[in-house]
């Protein structure tokens, strides 16, 4: 089955530093990956769509200079939280789509998430 690996699962950093989160599709190629943010006891908010070989598409209200997304290959997308502040503390989740057709069509596979705590 489709597996998405996300690393690190937990990260604590000081205010002002940058943090990189990796999202890898382990057994399939993903031309598109999605990055979500989830606050405690709240739903997932789509931050951006990561497109392999091109610029990410950000949702309204998401600062592209704050949340840098790079989709360097068909199996890797990275989210870098630049100059992190305590309000950036959250649970970040990535997802990828396995296939365009068949029973897996339109089903997104999610990573296990990365919990960021900014002190």
Partner 1 sequence: AQSVAQPEDQVNVAEGNPLTVKCTYSVSGNPYLFWYVQYPNRGLQFLLKYITGDNLVKGSYGFEAEFNKSQTSFHLKKPSALVSDSALYFCAVILTGGGNKLTFGTGTQLKVEL
Positions that interact with partner 1 (CB under 8 A): 4, 6, 9, 32, 34, 41-44, 46, 49, 91, 93, 95, 97, 105-113, 115
- Residue number with CB closer to partner 1 (66 or 104): 104
Least distance from partner 1 to the Cβ atom of residue 116, Å: 13
- Residue number with CB closer to partner 1 (30 or 118): 30
Least distance from partner 1 to the Cβ atom of residue 83, Å: 26
Q: ∠ CA(66), CA(51), CA(89), 5° rounding?
A: 30
Rounded to an integer, what distance in angstroms lies between the CA atom of residue 93 and that of residue 34? 8
DSSP lists the bridge partners of residue 76 as: 24, 73
């Amino acid at each position: 089955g489709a597996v998405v690996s996300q690393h690190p699962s937990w990260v604590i950093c000081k205010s002002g530093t940058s943090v990189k989160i990796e999202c890898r599709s382990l057994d399939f190629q993903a031309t598109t990956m999605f990055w979500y943010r989830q606050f405690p006891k709240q739903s997932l908010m789509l931050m951006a769509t990561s497109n392999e070989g091109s610029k990410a598409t950000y949702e309204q209200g998401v600062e592209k200079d704050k949340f840098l997304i790079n989709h360097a290959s068909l199996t890797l997308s990275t989210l870098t939280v630049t100059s992190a502040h305590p309000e950036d503390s959250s649970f970040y989740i990535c997802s990828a789509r396995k296939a365009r057709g068949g029973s897996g069509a339109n089903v997104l596979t999610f990573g296990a998430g990365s919990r960021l705590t900014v002190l």
